[in-house]
Amino acid sequence: MNTEIPLGSVIQGSLTKGLEVRLHPDISVEDMRVGKFLVIQGMRSRFFCLLTDVSLGAASERILANPPAIEDTFLRDVLAGSGTYGTVELAPMLMFTPTETNKEQTSPPVKGKKSKMASFETQTSIDAELLPVKTIPAHFSQVYEASEQDFRNVFGWEDDPHRRNFSIGEPLDMAVPVCIDLDRFVERSNGIFGKSGTGKSFLTRLLLSGVIRKGAAVNLMFDMHSEYGWEAMKEGKQVSTVKGLRQLFPGQVEIYTLDPESTKRRGVRDAQELYLSYDQIEIEDLRLVARELGLSDAAIDNAVILGNEYGKSWIVRLLNMTNEDIKLFCEEKQGHPGSLMALQRKLMRFDTLKYIRSACPHNYIDRLIESLDAGKNIIIEFGSQSNMLSYMLATNMITRRIHACYVKKADKFLQSKNPLDRPRQLVITIEEAHRFLDSAIVHQTIFGTIAREMRKYFVTLLVVDQRPSGIDNEVMSQIGTRITCLLNDEKDIDAIFTGVSGANGLRSVLAKLDSKQQALVLGHAVPMPVVVRTRAYDRQFYAEIGDPAWAEIPDEELFITAEAAKADLGF
């Protein structure tokens, strides 16, 4: 569409309920789609709006009672625009009011001169101060298609030297990038939501690629299904794969694996092994997986008694106890024999986890933290150890230690005020987030703590989930930026808009998304909610975002080159 041609006029509305716009006769209602970005030119201000609903109207009930025949195109053309018309609902999100220095540019148009619409497009993002909407435009203010300059003024540009902007996609009907501010994105916890099959994994790869390329933060990714580090299957009828983050950024991404055999079978030859030991498992870890293990509160209470008595070695001591040993211990320490025996049986399931050892030669988690301190992005693959018990246990154990380490670093930085002591911003990515952030256990897990308060310790979460209604409301209200693909369940849709003003209009936008490659982006990292056609994760993206030193090396030559280099060096 021509951005200088008005689409319609504001006829009524309010600040809280939105504005109703009557389309001009020459504008087809079929061109107005939910989620479209439009602008309203008021007398003093320019309003940036989101289209939330489309409807049809008629000037008289008689027209609806006796509509023209299907072959009577003349009468239909006569009625169009006067007797019958289209209306759209707009939700104002931002406003821009020119300052005294540029009022001359935005003065009302005069016959024979440029329109007021064109004069606003000459504004630059440097001078434009976008503010929350505190008022609404007057009756009959004109509505226009958003121009490329409008998008730049609101969402910035990817090559902006003053910000770490990253293009997440494009508007539904324009070829112009919609950017998120990565610095604002990583400073709070964020979420990627959508039902199964809507492309959450691809969106996560996109965002993590942007964070790595722009250097906004280091990432710790708990890769439950081993699909982010190395190549993974691409959805579709044809069998094909997409590159993992290690292939795009070989010098910046390291893979740790809890199942070395599975990782090697997939062709990853330089992954580092990661093992955990019984003496690293604490009571808080058991509380998180109590549902998966079937542990009662009494069993947890008896585990506390054991921990107080034997310290870090309590699990090994319990597994080696006979029934007589358990009875004798309970008599001395006032434990419950039945609960301890049940706890012993349930903890034997840990023997099936490949990464659990009775003792480890060194602390693998400390090695992982050293890699994060060095600026490396870490992806932890689970391989065949991807059942929910295994995933929740390992993720919680590792994250709690990272939490403790970052708290110490943040305290040191706050005391010294030395920039060299400032911890690197860390983003921890977890899948199946509702398992960790459920209302029943969120106050006992480290993830609930991070979501609520860890921003001040330079650690935030990126939660990926298909059931946002399973996440505690308090945690959802703290989610800074929400990138949401299609959701059908009403409870999930309600959860997405927890703590969001103007949610009623946005609900209809979310419900009308396509099932593939569309998302509603709202929150801290974008100035206003927007629907985007998400950026494709393909060869063009690899070339634009990947490490240029490795961009031209085919996958099949990658390991050959590495092996040849080792041979030359005598390894």
Strand partners, 180: 166
pLDDT at 123: 38
Question: Domain map of the chain by residue range?
Answer: 8-155, 190-233+240-274+360-497, 279-354
What strands, in cross-sheet order, belong to the sheet with 272-273? 178-181, 165-170, 530-534, 518-523, 481-484, 190-193, 459-465, 426-431, 218-223, 377-381, 253-257, 272-273
Give the DSSP letter string of 468-509: GGGS-HHHHHH--EEEE-----HHHHHHHTTT-TTHHHHHHH
Alpha-carbon span 571 to 568, nearest angstrom: 8
Alpha-carbon span 420 to 515, nearest angstrom: 46
The tokens for 288 are 């998180």
Strand partners, 92: 49
Backbone phi, then psi, for 546, in 5-degree steps? Answer: -75, 170
Give the strand pairing for 530-534 and 165-170: antiparallel
Alpha-carbon Rg of the chain, whole angstroms? 29
pLDDT at 3: 66
pLDDT at 172: 84
Give the DSSP letter string of 384-402: T--SHHHHHHHHHHHHHHH
Strand partners, 37: 50
The per-residue pLDDT for range 493-511, each reduced to its tens digit, is 989 988 777 677 788 888 8
Alpha-carbon span 303 to 296, nearest angstrom: 11
Alpha-carbon span 144 to 147, nearest angstrom: 9
pLDDT at 106: 38
What secondary structure, in 3-state letters, does 421-473 show? Answer: HCCCCEEEEEECHHHCCCCCCHHHCHHHHHHHHHHHHCEEEEEEECCHHHCCH
Q: Which residue, among 483, 403, 408, has the nearest Cα to 450 in the 3D structure? A: 403
Other CB atoms within a 10 A radius of the CB of residue 567 amount to 9
pLDDT at 378: 95
The tokens for 418 are 């030395």
pLDDT at 255: 93
Rounded to 10°, the helix 323-333/337-347 angle is 130
Give the strand pairing for 241-242 and 253-257: unpaired
Distance of CA 468 to the CA centre of its chain: 12
pLDDT at 2: 57
Alpha-carbon span 392 to 387, nearest angstrom: 9
Amino acid at residue number 97? T
Q: Which residue, among 120, 199, 234, 133, has the nearest Cα to 532 in the 3D structure? A: 199
What SS3 state is found at 266? coil
Q: Which long-range contacts does 396-399 make (Cβ < 8 Å, 24+ apart)?
A: 396/284, 396/285, 396/288, 396/289, 396/436, 396/445, 396/446, 396/447, 397/276, 397/280, 397/281, 397/282, 397/285, 397/365, 398/222, 398/276, 398/365, 398/368, 399/428, 399/446, 399/447, 399/450
Alpha-carbon span 408 to 369, nearest angstrom: 13
Alpha-carbon span 33 to 172, nearest angstrom: 9
Per CATH, which fold does 190-233+240-274+360-497 belong to?
Rossmann fold (3.40.50)
Q: Which residue, among 150, 4, 191, 13, has the nearest Cα to 91 in the 3D structure? A: 13
Alpha-carbon span 571 to 558, nearest angstrom: 17
Q: Nearest 5°: CA angle at 540, between 534 and 543? A: 120
In tens digits, the chain (571 residues) has pLDDT values of 556 889 999 999 999 889 999 999 888 888 898 888 999 999 989 999 999 999 998 888 888 777 887 877 777 777 776 788 899 999 999 998 876 544 444 333 433 433 444 344 433 444 457 888 999 999 999 999 998 888 888 998 888 888 899 999 998 888 889 999 999 999 999 999 998 888 898 999 999 999 999 999 999 999 988 889 888 777 655 667 888 899 999 889 999 999 999 888 888 888 899 999 998 888 888 888 888 888 888 888 989 999 888 888 999 999 999 988 888 988 888 888 888 899 999 999 888 888 998 888 888 899 999 999 999 999 999 988 888 888 989 998 999 999 899 999 999 998 988 888 888 999 999 988 888 888 887 877 888 888 887 668 899 999 999 999 999 888 888 899 999 999 988 899 989 988 777 677 788 888 888 888 899 999 999 999 999 999 988 888 888 887 655 444 454 444 444 444 344 434 4
The tokens for 400 are 């709690």
What percentage of the chain carries pLDDT values higher than 70? 88
Alpha-carbon span 116 to 106, nearest angstrom: 6
Alpha-carbon span 82 to 93, nearest angstrom: 30
- CA torsion 220-222-225-228 (nearest 10°) is -10
Q: Which residue, among 55, 202, 45, has the nearest Cα to 133 in the 3D structure? A: 45
- The label of the residue with tokens 């504004």 reads 123
Alpha-carbon span 274 to 387, nearest angstrom: 17
The per-residue pLDDT for range 367-421, each reduced to its tens digit, is 999 999 999 999 999 988 888 888 989 998 999 999 899 999 999 998 988 888 8
- The number of C-alpha atoms within 13 Å of 127 and in the hemisphere containing its C-beta is 12
Give the DSSP letter string of 167-203: EEEE-TT----EEEEHHHHHTS-EEEE--TTSSHHHH
Alpha-carbon span 159 to 314, nearest angstrom: 55
- The label of the residue with tokens 């600026």 reads 375
pLDDT at 289: 86
Alpha-carbon span 87 to 90, nearest angstrom: 10
Amino acid at residue number 313? S
Alpha-carbon span 54 to 61, nearest angstrom: 20
Strand partners, 273: 257
pLDDT at 51: 92
Alpha-carbon span 442 to 437, nearest angstrom: 5
